[in-house]
Amino acid sequence: MTKREKVYLAATVALILFLLVKSFVLDPVRPGNETEEAALLNIEKAMDEKFVGGLYDYKILVNRVVKLEPLKEDDSMLKAFIKNNNIETFDVEGKYKAKIRKYFLGILPVGEEKIINVEKE
């Protein structure tokens, strides 16, 4: 093995290790208080209902919440949600929007999606 091949191999291993650390340690969101924890549980329950079948059943595709932030009255995502669901009033207090990232084999990010937590009544 030449010196150049060793350098490429070392760089590949380092990048794979960085991707593993990023996917498992840096990306997942950690709730800061009880309301965020409740919103996160609600969002994870909604993800379990929405993403079923196929690659999700075999854990080939895995979803993780990577960003969680409170909704604001002037949020464009909130306006789109209200328009799509024909809701006239929507209380934003205690509501969060989340960014969900899809991972291939739990490591390689392949897509993102945004969701609003809404408690079912």
In a domain, 112, yes or no: yes
In a domain, 55, yes or no: yes
Q: Given strand 61-70, what is the order of strands in its sheet?
A: 61-70, 96-104, 108-116
Please give the residue that has the higher pLDDT: either 22 or 84: 22
pLDDT of residue 121: 45
In a domain, 4, yes or no: no
Which pTM does this prediction carry?
Answer: 0.74
pLDDT of residue 88: 63
Q: How far apart are CA 119 and CA 89, in angstroms?
A: 15
Arithmetic mean of pLDDT, 109-120: 79
In a domain, 6, yes or no: no
pLDDT of residue 119: 61
List, in sequence order, every residue forming a beta bridge with 101; answer none if it has no partner: 64, 112
Domain count of the chain? 1
In a domain, 19, yes or no: no
In a domain, 64, yes or no: yes
